[in-house]
Amino acid sequence: MSSLEEPLGLGDLPKLSINRLGSFSQPSAYRRAAADDRNTRNSCNGGAPMVFHANSHAWHQQCRQADSSCDAVEVELRDLPRKVMWDLPSFVKIVEVGPRDGLQNEKGNVPTSVKIQLIHKLVAAGLSVVEATSFVSPKWVPQLADAKEVLKGIQLMPNVRYPVLTPNLRGFEAAVAAGAKEIAVFASASESFSKSNINCTIEESLVRYRDVTAAAKKHGLLIRGYVSCVIGCPVEGAIDPSKVAYVAKELYNMGCSEISLGDTIGVGTPGSVVAMLEAVMSFVPVDKIAVHFHDTYGQALANILVSLQMGLSIVDSSVSGLGGCPYAKGATGNVATEDVVYMLHGLGIETNVDLNKLMEAGDYISKHLGRPLGSKTAAALRKLTT
Amino acid sequence: MLAASTRVCSRLASPHASSPAAAAAAAAAAAALASSPVLGSGMSGLERQPAPTVAGFGDTGRSRGADDPPPRSCSSSGESREGYQWNILPYQRQPMPHQRKVTAGLNHHVSGASCSSLYQQSYRYFSSSSDQERIQAGNKLILDLPRCVKIVEVGPRDGLQNEKDTVPTPVKVELIRRLAASGLSVVEATSFVSPKWVPQLADAKDVMEAVRNIEGVRLPVLTPNIKGFEAAIAAGAKEIAVFASASEGFSKSNINCTIKESLARYNDVALAAKEKEIPVRGYVSCVVGCPVDGPVPPSNVAYVAKELYDMGCYEVSLGDTIGVGTPGTVVPMLEAAMSVVPVEKLAVHFHDTYGQSLSNILISLQMGINVVDSSVAGLGGCPYAKGASGNVATEDVVYMLNGLGIRTGVDLGKVMAAGEFICKHLGRQSGSKAATALSKVTAKASKL
């Protein structure tokens, strides 16, 4: 039985004409192709027989005329893959949020040593950004009460970032004392969610974060900004993209090197995602934007795909889909890193992540939490090999 | 600017979300969220009505020129070989700000996804011209999608066939009834194969006889050979389906013959069907990968699809049997199939074994496909990776299509109810994330 552990990528296919996808990279050519109206289709007689051309390995309609109008059919078809796959990034950075966003939303509590081991395994799998923990009051997030011990206990690898959440100056100072080199702050695009989640308005939270980011800059720390509820809010319902853009812009202007847009309750679908990204991209450069989709309604991978098509190249995900949805008890939350990596590798996009080692990390933490794997890829590959 | 953002909001707002009661209590808001069509759930459902024609676009700034094709309506009835008429409008670039009206659930026509032009009016700042291009490209990615998608429900056949337990005939019949009532226009009812191979569907004749008269829905059945075909017709079937593999290895191990031999067999069946004016749906399995042979060349898929289409199948469904496809392999495969079969005659049948099906469906829609197979509650595990999931869940597909403003004619709430029904009888949890999430949200809301 052939090994299907790595997704079947373009490289596995025999050299068909369709592999032109790889050589196409000119946006101007795209514009030319896009300008072709669909009305150029069917310039040949509709009933002309199909002939297989051995050179191009493509079926062409055989036209009586010898002119170039017969190329219309093939051109039309070639335009489609170009249109849907053009300009996908060649490398996507995955930001692994399992140890923080994941564990923070799991029912069970995990010992400090297991958290540290998990982070080590994730880094060993090739992930270059692993959100280590959160310096919030243990009253709110008991699962991460050992933030200081975790951060101090990790063996920090070069070229790997270990951001930690710091909701206020106090948390920031604790993080710095524990050796943090990167911090993260969290604002909401929804006023109601901001009030119910962190007990203040959006503006008040931004004021607070300006203090934190000013202090961070003084210490030479990197800052990651999160925007939550970018599509929908459990209280308000749908969120206006312009509000997301506003919060993203504020976070960017106060010094965040990356802005992660979070669909906190997972209700986004590609249409609403594109609208939201368009708004944010008017203010924040695309290479500074990350997407953080929740898979609560199964929409995450489709949303990630369309984000890649829009030019984004940073994706947040959680090993084994750790972290349920706090608003629909029992429903899933974060998208599983293994599933994301499977798709990216299948698209021919580099991630530097070793899927097998990643699955090991997922197995490890799922066993300790006593919960089944939250990744379909991991579940399928595991069944195949046992 | 305020008006613009209000208009954008209204695309997304349900009638309930704006009422004071909903704003006041979180519980009511959760319920409103569940019933909000915008957030993709479309639980209030789309009634089966003809879609708005292009005339409805008259005030959007996109004017119909004399050369535009005549508007075609989405019809959920009318099932001849000529097939469904889908309203696929060519996207036309407008230098002026444009709006596309997107139906969001309750026939609620509001501004659609192209609000970038609104932002560009309001915010004078652009980071760079290449970002401008990306924004316009984003527009195109979503606006060029088909206006309607036909969902072919395969739960009662492909789903139940791959479930461990067998379900009694009355339960199968009730499931089909409920699915038909939810607005699905095609529900694969059963399979006339030897009970030796598929014991779960041994009651094919009884099921078919019980459902043959359900109105407003097509009920294709699988018929692998003339014997099965004759049994199907005797039981009252009005539509049949045949199954060929794009991979020799799978063909031999699954149906004990080569691809060519199977096609010859199906040709006989197709001829017999043509004589009786019975439509035939063709399936191609292993269109991306095969558990025996590994990667499957797209040219194989094109060959089999063309053969099925030429022998008279009105539609050819391309199945990623083991779910290994990603857009990187799906796109070349579709390109090959589309070069030999018209795109409107192709359907995609993705398995969610690796969680890839919704992104594969999205890319297929972007390529022009507008028929999608799915299975209520994600019924039907993968026969090649025991315990792994199989079919993509209809509820998750409908959730995405609703969110994209694509008409399906399907009431998500009713499909969810059908899914709950069958899962109870199978003693298993729903394989649909959307259904699970929506039922948790409403359960929580109803407690308050």
- Structural domain containing residue B387: 150-446
At B15 the pLDDT is 37
In a domain, A93, yes or no: yes
In a domain, B91, yes or no: no
CATH number of the CATH domain containing B310 = 3.20.20.70
- Share above pLDDT 70 across residues of chain B, in percent, rounded to a whole number: 65
Q: Does the predicted TM-score (pTM) go above 0.95?
A: no
How many Å lie between the alpha carbon of A156 and the closest alpha carbon of chain B? 32
User: Among A355-359, B254-258, B347-351, where is mean pLDDT lowest?
Assistant: B254-258
Q: Where does the pLDDT of residue B255 fall: very low under 50, low under 70, confident under 90, or very high at 90 and above?
A: confident
In a domain, A221, yes or no: yes
| DSSP H or E stretch at residue A45 | none
> Which residues are CB-contacts of A178 (< 8 A; sequence separation ≥ 6)?
A135, A147, A148, A151, A152
In a domain, B138, yes or no: no
User: Among A178-182, B34-38, B250-254, B322-326, where is mean pLDDT lowest?
Assistant: B34-38
B347-381 confidence digits (pLDDT tens): 999 999 999 999 999 999 999 999 999 999 999 97
Contact residues on chain A for B331, CB-CB shorter than 8 A: 18, 21, 81, 84-85
Q: How many domains does chain B have?
A: 1
In a domain, B206, yes or no: yes
Q: Which of A195, A239, A272 to mutate to test the interface with B (most CBs of B within 10 A)?
A: A272
CB contact under 8 A, A13 and B295: yes
Q: Is the pLDDT of residue B435 over 70?
A: yes
In a domain, A140, yes or no: yes
How many Å lie between the alpha carbon of B384 and the closest alpha carbon of chain A? 7
Contact residues on chain A for B141, CB-CB shorter than 8 A: 84, 270, 274, 306, 309-310
Both structure tokens of B230: 């004759």
Q: Which of B9, B39, B340, B448 to mutate to test the interface with A (most CBs of A within 10 A)?
A: B39
At A77 the pLDDT is 55
User: Among A129-143, B114-128, B268-282, where is mean pLDDT lowest?
Assistant: B114-128
Catalytic residues of A: 325
> For residue B201, what is the DSSP state?
G
Q: How many CB pairs under 8 A join A and B?
A: 337
Mean pLDDT taken over chain A: 82
At A347 the pLDDT is 94
CB contact B20 to A (< 8 Å): no
In a domain, A134, yes or no: yes
User: DSSP letters along B278-331, please?
Assistant: --EEEEEE-SSEETTTEE--HHHHHHHHHHHHHTT-SEEEEEETT----HHHHH
Q: Is the pLDDT of residue A251 over 80?
A: yes
In a domain, A211, yes or no: yes
Q: Where does the pLDDT of residue A43 fall: very low under 50, low under 70, confident under 90, or very high at 90 and above?
A: very low
- Kindly list the distances between the CA atom of residue B336 and the CA atoms of A55, B28, B302, in Å, as whole numbers in the listed order: 15, 50, 5
Give the one of B13, B138, B382 whose C-beta lies nearest to A238's C-beta: B13
Both structure tokens of A364: 């490890």
A139-188 confidence digits (pLDDT tens): 888 999 999 999 999 999 999 999 999 999 999 999 999 999 999 999 99
A371: helix, coil or strand?
coil
In a domain, B78, yes or no: no
Buried b (16+ CB within 10 A) or exposed e, B128-152: eeebebbbbbbbbbbbbbbbbbbbb
Closest residue by Cα to residue B404 from A385, A231, A271: A271
Q: Is the pLDDT of residue B410 over 70?
A: yes
A312-332 confidence digits (pLDDT tens): 999 999 999 998 776 666 678
Q: Is the pLDDT of residue A79 over 90?
A: no
- Structural domain containing residue A195: 86-383
At B197 the pLDDT is 85
In a domain, B304, yes or no: yes
CB contact B71 to A (< 8 Å): no
Q: How many domains does chain A have?
A: 1
B164-192 confidence digits (pLDDT tens): 889 999 999 999 999 999 999 999 999 99
At A106 the pLDDT is 86
CB contact under 8 A, A283 and B113: no
- Share above pLDDT 90 across residues of chain B, in percent, rounded to a whole number: 60
A190-214 confidence digits (pLDDT tens): 999 999 888 899 999 999 999 999 9
Q: Is the pLDDT of residue B196 over 50?
A: yes
In a domain, B76, yes or no: no
Handedness of CA A11, A17, A22, A23 (dihedral sign): positive
CB contact B111 to A (< 8 Å): no
> For residue B157, what is the DSSP state?
I
Q: What residue type is assigned to position A244 of the chain?
A: V
How many Å lie between the alpha carbon of A84 and the closest alpha carbon of chain B? 6
Q: Is the pLDDT of residue B45 over 70?
A: no
Torsion of CA A20, A22, A25, A28, to 10 degrees: 20
At B19 the pLDDT is 43
Please, what's the largest Cα pairwise distance for chain A?
79
CB contact under 8 A, A348 and B328: yes
Give the one of A4, A87, A241 whose C-beta lies nearest to B324's C-beta: A4
Q: Where does the pLDDT of residue A13 fall: very low under 50, low under 70, confident under 90, or very high at 90 and above?
A: very low
In a domain, A334, yes or no: yes
In a domain, B134, yes or no: no
In a domain, A75, yes or no: no
In a domain, A193, yes or no: yes
User: Which residue reads 């025996």 in tokens?
Assistant: B292
In a domain, B224, yes or no: yes
CATH number of the CATH domain containing A173 = 3.20.20.70
Both structure tokens of A347: 């698209």
